Each structure stands twice: as C-alpha cells, then as structure tokens.
Structure 1
C-alpha cells in the first residue's frame, strides 16, 4: 500500500477577511443544536478538480480569483471567520458565542504537491493518512481553514477544515457552493449574483429547548471542551472508496422486505447503512476471532437534518447545526449472523421512524445518556456526509465538475456518486487487515444478491 514519496510545499499562507461592503453578523448565540458538537473533532473535506495548468499559472491567475471570491463569499458567512467564545465556568449563565470582529479572517494556505494524484485520490486501498497534508488543521478557537493545493498540469484540490460547532454539512455545502459560484463568475467576468446559492439565515428565535438541553450539555461537556482532538491510531489503517449502485440498493431492499415484510420503514438509506454495518461487523469478527465479544452491543450512529421538521420549521438556508442524533444498537452475534442485514435494517428504520412520527426532538432529554452509552460501547461507528449533498454536480469553481470528493479522517462517509445521482459513494477507513476483509465481504455480498 506504499506509494511514491510526495512533497507538499507551501507557496503562500495568508488571511482572507470578508469583503467590507457586507453587513457582518458580529455575534451568534449557539443553541443546543450547536452545543452538541462542542467536543467533536474538526471535519475535513477535499474536492479534487482537473487543472491542466502550471504552478506559475496557478499563482498568477488562479490564486487572485480564489482570494477575491472567498472574500466576497465570506461577507454573507462572517461567523466562519469569527472565534468561538466559551464561558470559563460551565455552570455560569453566559452563552457560548461565535463572535466576529472587524479584521477577523479565515486562514488560507496555497500549496504545491509533486505526488501522483491517483496515489492521493484513487479509490483503491491506500494509507489512511495520505490526505492529511492537503488540509490545514484549525486552532482551538478558529472555526474554519482552507488549503488549495495544485498538482502541476494535472489537478487542483480544495481542502476545507471546519469546527462542527459552527456548521453542519448543509451549511458548509451552502458556503462552498457560494464560493465556487462567485469564483466561476469571476473567471468568466460575469456579474456575480446569488442565484446559485442561498444567503444564510441566522434567525434562532424560534428554536425551542423544552428540556433545557443547552444547560445540560454545557454541564456534561464543559470539562471536556479543551480536550477535543482526533484520536490517532497506532494501528496501520487504510482508506478506500466503494460504490453502491441503485440496482444493488433496490436488491438490498427486496432482500430485506422478503425476509421482514412487516417492517414499516425501509429506505435506500437504511438498507445501505444496514449492509455496511454487517460488513463492518463481520470483517472485525473474522479478523479478531473474539467470540466472547459477540454478545456485546454494537452501535451505529447517524444524524437527521430537522430544519423542515421543527415546529415552526427553519429554512433550508438556516446557518449552523440543525441535526438530531439517531442511534441504533444490536449485538455482534446478530450482526455477524445470517440475519444481520435484516436485523440492522429494522433497528435503523425504527430509529428514523420514531423521529418522523413523534417529532425530531423526541426523547431529546435522553440524548446525553445515549451519547455516553455510545462512547462506552464496545464497538461503535458513525456516518459523515450525506448523499443529499451533491458535491459532484453543484460545486464548480470554473474548472468543471469535481473528479473526487472525500472526507479526510472519517471512518465511514456517504456522498452522492460522481457518475450517477442515484448511486452512493462510500468512503471507508479501517485497520489494514479489516479493510482487506471488508472489501471481500462488500464485493461478495453484492454478487450474492444476483443469486
């Protein structure tokens, strides 16, 4: 799994502030939807494009456009350039805030890489950390950082690193779309408009907290806030990309419903997650061979965007986080067994169905307990990304559609596929031995669907 040695050289490091002609959001109160992510590690996204130009062209032509367009985009998204302010005493009545002050900025790095693009972004199994040099880490108080890396005469990558506290996937996607739309128009000398993206909505006045979750979260997570970091693994890990086609998704649905016709909620998302869950569970068991752990719980977590499901609903342009956690649990014995797929689809479907029936805040007073249980569990996995956010067809900086979209450090991620809007692209990071087993199980399981 070793690739050629590659060097990433910094060409310029700068700060980009929002354009001065905007009306900045200077102070943003964080409701419990944001506070839930206080101890979550920053998320990194990478978008790769074809770029048949030299480094000199990149420096002279591309960098100025990216700086100008970023500044113009930030004038509507000023909190991204702000700072996170956390009260020193978690029991105090002070609010957690994002505060933007005049002169605040986003850290931007422009770099050059002499490595093979396919070594970094190919779908094959490769070192899990190969993408880290293409994304700039953020500091403890910063919320956003950008790195643009040119592979001379071959490609260009846009790396976005953000604190989850400031924005969920929907908000980050809207910002990147705004930046790309403005950059594309500058490339063609067109008048910049907002037709291709949504101006963010910052109104939090209608968000209700019936169970005092904000206070509960601060008391529970406050002491842990300064310890936020990505846990480094001492075990060699690999990353790879898999694709689940629409025909295979429909075949999975058919298989589940044939064995569990009584299930009330079976969707493309639930059967996709169920299939991945069983592949994860079986690959781990086959590698570790620890039968004594089969009766321990396995947890599968994901989130649901509830902007449209709140009462009153929030607009899709709402800036921040508006996600509710859904956690499904099943024993390893069931997941590694012959009925693992159907069992997983059932508990995953039930986790969604109760939110749809009872409302997104159902059992919200138990969220902290559920999160604690998830952390205590012998085995757990969560999903990053969403197939609803179409990076491949909606993010064009003027270089055409992306060649590849990836998360930097997430164990499991889902996105809409490059080649079909109905297929799902799956990013996986696992210990190397488990990756080999997972790949075999994933491919063979789909072949078995054909009978």
Structure 2
C-alpha cells in the first residue's frame, strides 16, 4: 500500500565538523563491525509534539541548534591504520552529515499513536542511504517480508504485569535459578504471543524459531578495550527452539529459561569462545529462512529520555521492524517502570497478537 503522506523537501544541507582536519582518515572494520555489514540498519523515528510551533521559531531556534548538535559528529579519537584495508570507515576532508528538512501533511496524532497503523505511512520519513559502486549499504534480509501489508503497533507491560510474569515463571521452574529480568520476561512474553499469532503456511517445513539479542562486550573482553574505542562492540547471542514447544501452555517459562541460559553464558566470561562456530550455525539457519524474532532496541537505551529541549518524545517508532521481523522494546514513556513493545505484523496476525497479548495478562 502506498503512503498518502505528502512530504515536501525544504532544505538539504551537509553539516561539517566544527574542527578542521588536514588529512583523510580511515578506520578499519573489526570483527564486530563486519558481522553486521549485511544487516539492514535500525530505522528509528522520534515524534516530538511542540505546541504553538511557528516557522520563525523552527528556523531561527530549533534548526540552528540541530545543526550545531551535529557539527561535532566526527570529533572522535580515530585510529589510523598502518595499511589500507579492503573494508574501512573513511573520513575525507570536508566530509559531513547530511541533514534534510522537510514538511509533511501527515496526521501527527495518527502516526504517534499506539494503535495499528499502516507501515507504508512511515516510509516517506526515512532518509535513503546513498549507495554507489565503492560505498554501499548491503541488505540481504529486507525483502523477506515484501508484498505483505504490515501494521506496526505498540503494546505495554506495566511493572505489575512483569511482576506477575516473574511469579508465574518461578512457579513453573521452581528448582531452577533463572535470570528473570524485565528484559527477559518481556521478550519471552512477546515471542510467545507473536509465534501463536503466525499462520502456518502450507508446505512450510521450518518448525524452528531463532530468538536472541545483542550483548554489550565492552566490559567483557580481556584485555579490556580502551575508553576511546570507536566502533561496534556487541555480539549476537541466539537460541533455536521448536515452535511447538513455544506454543505450549508454559511457553513463556520455556523461552525465559532459554534466554536466561544465554545471559548466564555471558556472565561466565569468555564471550568470544566458539564464536565462529555459533555464527556459522546462525547464518546457516537464516539462509534456510528459519523464522527469527530478535530485538531491535532494548529498554536500556532509554529512548524516551531523548529531550532536546522540546520535552520527551511523544512516540519512538522503529520502522525497520517491518523489514526484519524484529520487535522493539523501550522503557515506558511515563517512567512507571513498564516496557513498551513494538511489533509489525500482517493485519490478521496483529488482531490475533493483540488479543493474545491482552487476554494472556488476565490469566497470569
């Protein structure tokens, strides 16, 4: 479905660094960078509601501050490689960050709401990455779900809901010491609801599901990395389970246990042990189009704390979940200790998911 939103470009500018460099720099990609090279980027939209906003105030106050905030973007400690690698992040003199200012006739309240909305309505607000023969952003998974009419929507687990889920899992897994954090419980509950909402396609022989998360390695490597390290320092940790086990009555406890095991492996140290074999198996499963539900944004990012002087955002939407089948997670906007879950599903699946998500909490 095509978007009815009209977007009029007002200005396209390049914001250059506030400092001056006399030479070019190259930053070689590390092991942590290269793994993510073929994955589509996370596309996150922030919706800010500014009352009594006028063109004069926007152009004289807001826009200059935005440009100023981007000017130190490259003001980092970059390491210059001794030899030019094949894959590297390059900085060239007079390089900068592209900033596009546009005006839209879209319904702000509709786009920033919690209810199901057409995914296509958000596409015109996502900037396109420039692609050329020598500079490209590769995406091998983005077309997996093309051809379907997707609806993104947001659901919330309150602090009390999470407490009830924790008690429920502890009752099922009485003798086991599990890592039942807010993240684990929310993720497990979302996985079960999504899996149960999916239609079983005729002839589909895939009976497994991949789920997992990216872990922060900055404090887990030996020797520790320097404080001025620039680049990715996260790695994927995933579990593979039978769909039939996830759909059982104790599915949330089952998934929570799997996630707990992944986290306990991190706490043991040696996060890179067996990484090659694990990644090879994960990539093999993805190539076989085994369904995956991963997290595009965990609650610890505190996206609703992004206050640029306009108060908290009214809504934060990760549009790319519709391409990858991932879910988003964010802290509750009101700071009550709950978690906001964002999903993008086909219309019929969304209706089933919404029913499962709401009704399931009544019986916890």
TM superposition score normalised by structure 2: 0.87
More moved, 260-269 vs 340-349:
260-269
State the match for 1:370 in structure 2.
282
Spell out the pairing of 1:207-356 with structure 2 (5 A cutoff): 226=138, 228=140, 230-231=142-143, 233-267=146-180, 268-284=182-198, 287-288=199-200, 296-314=207-225, 318-356=229-267
> Cα 1:257–1:317, aligned 2, differ >3 Å: closer, same or farther?
farther
Change (3 A) 1:304 1:141: farther
Deviation at 1:120, TM superposition (A): 1.2
Measure, in 2, the Cα distance between the counterparts of 1:421 and 1:368. Answer: 41
Aligned pair 1:125/2:130, yes or no? no
**Match status 1:381 vs 2:296:** no
| Paired residues of 1:294 and 1:331 also in contact (CA < 8 A) | no
* 1:40 is aligned to 2:39: yes
State the distance in 2 between where 1:430 and 1:260 align: 31
Matched, 1:98 2:89: yes
In the aligned structure 2, how far is the partner of 1:23 from the partner of 1:50? 41
Paired with 1:226 and 1:75, the residues of 2 have a C-alpha distance of: 23
The CA RMSD measured in Å over matched residues stands at 2.9
For the residue of structure 2 that corresponds to 1:307, the secondary structure is coil
Q: Report the alpha carbon displacement of residue 23 of structure 1 after superposing the two structures with TM.
A: 9.3
* Cα distance in structure 1, aligned partners of 2:333 and 2:111: 17
- Give the direction of change, closer, same or farther, for the CA distance of 1:294–1:333 in structure 2 (3 Å limit): farther
For residues 6-38 of structure 1, the C-alpha deviation after alignment (integer angstroms, 9 at most, x for no partner) is 322111111111112579982212110001111
Which residue in the other structure is 2:65 paired with?
65
Q: Give how far 1:129 is off.
A: 2.5
Structure 2's unaligned 5+ residue stretches are 79-83
2:128 equivalent to 1:137: yes
Q: 1:229 to 1:442 in 2, by over 3 A?
A: closer
Distance 1:412 1:61 in 2: 35
TM-score by length of 1: 0.71
Give the equivalent residue in structure 2 for 1:440: 355
In structure 2, do the counterparts of structure 1 residues 375 and 360 end up closer, same or farther at CA, with 3 Å as the change threshold?
Answer: same
Unaligned 5+ segments in structure 1 are 80-92, 145-162, 164-224
Q: Distance in 1 between matches of 2:227 and 2:342?
A: 26
Residue 341 of structure 2, aligned match among 418, 423, 426: 426
Work out whether 1:112 is the aligned partner of 2:117. Answer: no
Conserved? CA contact 1:299–1:377, under 8 Å: no
Instruction: Classify the secondary structure of the residue corresponding to 1:43.
Output: coil
Higher RCO (CA-CA < 8 Å; seq separation 6+): 2
Residues 130 and 23 of structure 1: is their aligned pair in 2 closer, same or farther, counting only changes over 3 Å?
farther
Alpha-carbon shift at residue 422 of structure 1 (Å)? 2.1
